[in-house]
């Protein structure tokens, strides 16, 4: 299988501020994700909030097939021009995988066009059952009918997203809620996957089935042809007719 | 049938700058649309770019069930805070009907999440045939299998929108192009209809079938319950469980 | 609001065979549903399996705007020609509401094109929470964010339906499952709503919120124009061109 | 790239009855399609109407990843049990590509659930322009913005299909019609692609871009995991709870 260029972005704040989170992800969530994607033979780089341009310069994005996004506390600290740059790469074909609390990130709100921060939530470490709704979808390959997650933050409906193009996973939570936990969206030439699991206080990204879904999603989201940023953003010159226009003659008749 | 509160927004620039356009729409496109919506018994007000806040204050939007948007030359002159305000009303339930060149407006780009300015276009007055794809849809009621438009600006695919929730009309153009000319999108509680016909140099909004589609769309897009702006934008407090969480006991076992 | 002609079809087998079911629905499920639809001012008739043509003659269907379907034990006893007749009325515009175990009925399998009998199930009377996913949809009007059902048969994913046109409700079950409990499908000019609640041993159709959803669905599913059975089934004569075909001349050039 | 097992089914009637068609496809449409799929390194077999079981025995289907279907005159001569068998393989994961007049075939009607024979048509050899609506989709890879087809039978809307899961191509016809010419549907685990081009009197399947689309569609439609026929058709035993059910205790409280 072919090698893809993956950039894992993590705001990397919780891990530095909380001993509890640091105990779960001592190298940061981004490096945990990088490690299991390296098993696939991909070229994986990481980027974080504190880097210049949040580590997402034009050059980095130019060499990125799929961008993974984890953020939570610092959504508002992500610069608007970086969000705009990421968006231009997405609509030109770069894949985007938004994880967990990334639901409220600027980039996900921008591609959705809705206030995606809106959902039910509760942080008591209840159990989740993640059900496969579309077993024939590439993102669900190798996954059994369900994934058990022993402890997770609850995310529940109503989740304020547009109707997704495809609904792949549904989440069940012990306290009575359900969630559209795995959803795809197409924007321009870019493919986007939102995946709910991954609260920072639980070792969810170390779970093999969760890793499998993210590995699948990376392959699914990769661009199929060359990515030409800006090529899909509107043209200022009119198009030549494909077929002759006989209208003037018709009007004369 | 019930009375709706409709606001027709028009940038109202072409009509003042071009004698050709003024000859077609002497009172402006907005007043042409207002007039035929009044036939339905609706309360209709108009708003234009030059008014303070472009005529779209919080008070005006609070008393608007459905907003109609026509813009072209001055998309960039629409203030970002007004776009944000309109968007907050849409996701809370206000309907939006975007006409013709409004495809590249800030508000339509925002709800779509794609560079919707991207499409083929050509202004030679060729003929269009508008086909009904979903005859069972409320927006197509009273419309025969097709609408003939003698002269129209060509809009052609690839139109860079997300896959619409529903595709109602397809346009055929004499020079060889096709277009997804009538599309619905749902964002939050709001319903959005994009409708392609209506170049400013042709009397298309005086055509009865086109008026019928817009009348239908107004009824379809109206909010069904009370519109509470801000109520769908995210919460800062956790949700109580609906069902008892026995997880801690389970862990002890 | 306008009066609709509703036919409630029930196989009416459980109620006659089981004292437990008869205790819940002494007049049969169909009459329970009829009673609350009469509150809406509709004209409601019922039909059952044992009647000639199962009570679904051409005449009955001709005077039906919306057909409601409850079946379970006797799916195979429904005659194929009646199923075909019902289907021809649906694609011509008659609405269909399929309830609970009707998921495995011949008519629902026919409109879906998949083996819709496939799902997880368990009958232990566990509780269900029904969440609203699309609060702006007509079928969800008047419903709060969720409906609690104290005891219900569990239906769980993977439910083998095509991706629905709209997903309105999601069900949560105590034993760990989730379900796409309220789904719409459009087939021809007809609108179809599948609604999961309603096991025969629990008084679920006496619950006010469940009645409200079914009332809403009846209004949503009603045909918008005249229903002409057979008019959408294919034509044997070619269509005249809408525009002149200059192709032969072009080929000569 | 991996080798797939493709079966090309052709009713193979026109080519034997009409000298005009035989001149275009001397070996039959099926062998034309087989030849260009062999270039991809696939294992390709053909099957036709006159063969026992129409060449589609359980054994043949068991060794088929993707089935291609061309039929027109003899839809009614295809045995219902063969249609049922093909359908069971599709919902279990076998891919299906339906070409041109196959729109009215029994198998396509069965997966769609609508009278898919219904469309406008005209056979005067007018030109078609096939536009790419979703350039980021795997089926559109390597295709420019459009494909020109010099002469084709016209197929026009309203085409009585359910709203497709994805709309990839739109067709423009000289006489004024448009058509949803490339559509995907998912049924069970199976992926289905309908592709409009290919009237028997024109050498359309010899056109390189048309071949490219079909090659792409074969790779897209291939099953991703093992195909277990019958595994998705409903179960007669209840599912064990995933999580403990405490309901009885709750009722006692």
pLDDT tens track for C81-113: 999 999 999 999 999 999 999 999 999 999 999
Q: Which of the residues in chain C have pLDDT under 50?
A: 252-253
Mean pLDDT value of segment B48-53: 98
Residue A247 pLDDT class (50, 70, 90 cuts):
low
User: Best residue in D133, D147, D164 to probe B by mutation, most B CBs within 10 Å?
Assistant: D133
| pLDDT computed for residue D253 by the predictor | 42
Spell out which residues of chain B touch residue D133, defining contact as CB-CB under 8 Å. Answer: 157-158, 180
Taking an 8 Å cut-off on Cβ atoms, the answer to whether D133 and B158 are in contact is yes
Please give the structure tokens belonging to residue A31.
Answer: 């490096």
| pLDDT computed for residue B231 by the predictor | 82
Taking an 8 Å cut-off on Cβ atoms, the answer to whether B243 and C141 are in contact is no
Q: Is the dihedral of CA B206, B207, B209, B210 positive or negative?
A: negative
Task: Measure the CA–CA gap between A127 and A152, rounded to whole angstroms.
Answer: 6
Task: Measure the CA–CA gap between A29 and A12, rounded to whole angstroms.
Answer: 7
User: Best residue in A103, A122, A126, A241 to probe B by mutation, most B CBs within 10 Å?
Assistant: A241
Torsion of CA A233, A238, A240, A243, to 10 degrees: 90
Taking an 8 Å cut-off on Cβ atoms, the answer to whether A243 and D189 are in contact is no
| pLDDT computed for residue C246 by the predictor | 79
Please report all neighbours of B, defined by 3+ CB atom pairs within 8 A: A, C, D
Spell out which residues of chain B touch residue A243, defining contact as CB-CB under 8 Å. Answer: 174-176
The answer to whether D162 contacts chain C (CB < 8 Å) is yes
Residue B233 pLDDT class (50, 70, 90 cuts):
confident
Torsion of CA A46, A48, A54, A60, to 10 degrees: 0
Spell out which residues of chain B touch residue A122, defining contact as CB-CB under 8 Å. Answer: 238-241
User: Best residue in A73, A113, A244 to probe B by mutation, most B CBs within 10 Å?
Assistant: A113
Mean model confidence pLDDT for chain C: 95
Taking an 8 Å cut-off on Cβ atoms, the answer to whether C189 and B148 are in contact is no
CB-CB contact of A76 with A91 (8 Å) = no
Taking an 8 Å cut-off on Cβ atoms, the answer to whether B224 and C191 are in contact is no
The answer to whether C225 contacts chain B (CB < 8 Å) is yes
Taking an 8 Å cut-off on Cβ atoms, the answer to whether B136 and C242 are in contact is no
Taking an 8 Å cut-off on Cβ atoms, the answer to whether A244 and C244 are in contact is no
Residues in chain C: 253
**Edge-to-edge order in the sheet of strand C66-70:** C43-48, C5-10, C66-70, C95-99, C190-195, C178-187, C166-173, C120-132, C146-156
> Which ranges of chain A does DSSP label H, i.e. alpha helix?
14-17, 19-24, 29-38, 58-62, 80-92, 106-112, 208-221, 247-252
The answer to whether C226 contacts chain A (CB < 8 Å) is no
Residue D227 has pLDDT above 50, yes or no: yes
Nearest chain B CA: its distance from D183 CA (Å): 13
User: Best residue in C101, C163, C241 to probe D by mutation, most D CBs within 10 Å?
Assistant: C241
Spell out which residues of chain A touch residue C180, defining contact as CB-CB under 8 Å. Answer: 133, 170
The answer to whether C172 contacts chain A (CB < 8 Å) is yes
The answer to whether D73 contacts chain A (CB < 8 Å) is no
Nearest chain A CA: its distance from B41 CA (Å): 32
Phi, psi angles (nearest 5°) of residue C38: -60, -30
Q: At what angle do helices B29-38 and B208-221 cross, to 10 degrees?
A: 70
User: How far are the Cα atoms of A178, B209, D95, D97, D229 from residue D84, in angstroms, in the given order?
Assistant: 36, 44, 15, 16, 12
Which helix (H) or strand (E) segment holds residue B210: the answer is helix B208-221
Task: Measure the CA–CA gap between A167 and D122, rounded to whole angstroms.
Answer: 39
Mean pLDDT value of segment D86-96: 98
Q: Which residues contact D250 (CB under 8 A, 6 or more apart)?
A: B244, C127
Spell out which residues of chain D touch residue C239, defining contact as CB-CB under 8 Å. Answer: 120-122, 154, 156, 177
Taking an 8 Å cut-off on Cβ atoms, the answer to whether A172 and C177 are in contact is yes
User: How far are the Cα atoms of B148, B204, D93 from residue B207, in angstroms, in the given order?
Assistant: 10, 5, 49
The answer to whether B23 contacts chain C (CB < 8 Å) is no
Instruction: Fill in the DSSP letter of residue C111.
Output: H
Listed residue (A70, A200, A194, A176) closest to A128, CA to CA: A176
Mean model confidence pLDDT for chain D: 95
Q: Which residues contact A144 (CB under 8 A, 6 or more apart)?
A: A132, A209
Taking an 8 Å cut-off on Cβ atoms, the answer to whether B239 and A118 are in contact is no
Taking an 8 Å cut-off on Cβ atoms, the answer to whether D172 and B170 are in contact is no
Taking an 8 Å cut-off on Cβ atoms, the answer to whether D138 and A93 are in contact is no
Mean model confidence pLDDT for chain A: 95
- Preceding omega of A232 cis (within 30 degrees of 0): no
* Nearest CB neighbour to C176, from listed D111, D162, D242: D242
Spell out which residues of chain C touch residue D247, defining contact as CB-CB under 8 Å. Answer: 124-127, 151, 174
Taking an 8 Å cut-off on Cβ atoms, the answer to whether D141 and A225 are in contact is yes
Nearest residue on chain C to D186, alpha-carbon basis: C162
Spell out which residues of chain A touch residue C134, defining contact as CB-CB under 8 Å. Answer: 163
Task: Measure the CA–CA gap between A224 and A189, rounded to whole angstroms.
Answer: 9
User: Best residue in C113, C160, C228 to probe D by mutation, most D CBs within 10 Å?
Assistant: C113
Residue B167 has pLDDT above 50, yes or no: yes
Residue whose structure tokens are 């050059």: A59
pLDDT tens profile D4-59: 999 999 999 999 999 999 999 999 999 999 999 999 999 999 999 999 999 999 99
Q: What is the b/e burial string over A97-124, where b = at least 16 CB atoms within 10 angstroms of the residue's CB?
A: bbbbbbbbbbbbbbbbbbbbbbbbbbeb
Taking an 8 Å cut-off on Cβ atoms, the answer to whether A243 and D127 are in contact is yes
Nearest residue on chain C to B244, alpha-carbon basis: C174
Q: Is B3 left (phi over 0), alpha (psi -120 to 50) or beta?
A: beta
The answer to whether B126 contacts chain D (CB < 8 Å) is no
Three-state secondary-structure class, residue D115: coil
Please give the structure tokens belonging to residue D240.
Answer: 């064990």
| pLDDT computed for residue B230 by the predictor | 87
Nearest chain B CA: its distance from D252 CA (Å): 14
pLDDT tens profile A139-171: 999 999 999 999 999 999 999 999 999 999 999
* Nearest CB neighbour to D224, from listed A138, A189, A191: A138
The answer to whether A160 contacts chain C (CB < 8 Å) is no
Taking an 8 Å cut-off on Cβ atoms, the answer to whether C133 and A167 are in contact is no
pTM: 0.97
Nearest residue on chain B to C191, alpha-carbon basis: B136
Please give the structure tokens belonging to residue A113.
Answer: 């066009």
| pLDDT computed for residue D175 by the predictor | 97
Q: Which residues contact D66 (CB under 8 A, 6 or more apart)?
A: D4, D5, D6, D7, D94, D95, D96, D97, D218, D221, D222
CB-CB contact of B30 with B24 (8 Å) = no
DSSP D62-84: HT-SEEEEE-STTGGGS-HHHHH
Nearest chain A CA: its distance from B109 CA (Å): 8
Which residues on adjacent β-strands are paired with residue C172? C129, C178
The answer to whether A20 contacts chain B (CB < 8 Å) is no
Residue B225 pLDDT class (50, 70, 90 cuts):
confident
Phi, psi angles (nearest 5°) of residue D178: -125, 160
The answer to whether A121 contacts chain C (CB < 8 Å) is no
- C 185-204 residues with CB < 8 A to D: 185-188
CB-CB contact of C190 with C86 (8 Å) = no
Please give the structure tokens belonging to residue A240.
Answer: 């030549």
Nearest chain B CA: its distance from C54 CA (Å): 28
Q: Are strands D166-173 and D178-187 parallel, antiparallel or unpaired?
A: antiparallel
Spell out which residues of chain C touch residue D235, defining contact as CB-CB under 8 Å. Answer: 118, 120-121
| pLDDT computed for residue B149 by the predictor | 98
| pLDDT computed for residue A253 by the predictor | 41
Nearest residue on chain B to A158, alpha-carbon basis: B232
The answer to whether C136 contacts chain B (CB < 8 Å) is yes
Nearest chain B CA: its distance from A158 CA (Å): 9
């Amino acid at each position: 299988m072919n090698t893809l260029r993956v950039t894992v972005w993590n705001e990397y704040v919780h891990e530095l501020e909380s001993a509890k989170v640091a105990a779960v992800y001592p190298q940061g969530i981004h490096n945990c994700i990088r490690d299991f994607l390296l098993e696939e033979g991909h070229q994986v780089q990481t980027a974080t909030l504190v880097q210049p341009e949040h580590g997402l310069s034009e050059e980095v994005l130019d060499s990125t097939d799929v961008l993974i996004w984890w953020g939570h506390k610092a959504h508002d600290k992500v610069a608007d021009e970086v969000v705009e740059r990421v968006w231009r790469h997405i609509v030109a074909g770069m894949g985007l995988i938004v994880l967990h609390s990334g639901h409220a990130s600027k980039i996900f709100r921008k591609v959705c066009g809705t206030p995606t921060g809106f959902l039910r939530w509760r942080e008591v470490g209840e159990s989740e059952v993640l059900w496969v709704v579309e077993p024939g979808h590439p993102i669900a390959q190798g996954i059994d009918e369900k994934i058990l997650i022993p402890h997770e933050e609850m995310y529940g409906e109503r989740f304020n997203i547009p109707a997704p193009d495809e609904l792949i996973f549904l989440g069940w939570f012990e306290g009575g809620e359900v969630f559209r936990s795995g959803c795809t969206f197409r924007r321009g030439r870019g493919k986007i996957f939102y995946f709910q699991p991954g609260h920072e206080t639980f070792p969810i990204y170390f779970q093999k089935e969760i890793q499998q879904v993210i590995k699948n999603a990376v392959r699914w989201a990769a661009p199929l042809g060359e990515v030409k940023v800006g090529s899909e953003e509107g043209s200022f010159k009119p198009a030549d007719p494909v077929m002759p226009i006989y209208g003037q003659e018709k009007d004369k008749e």
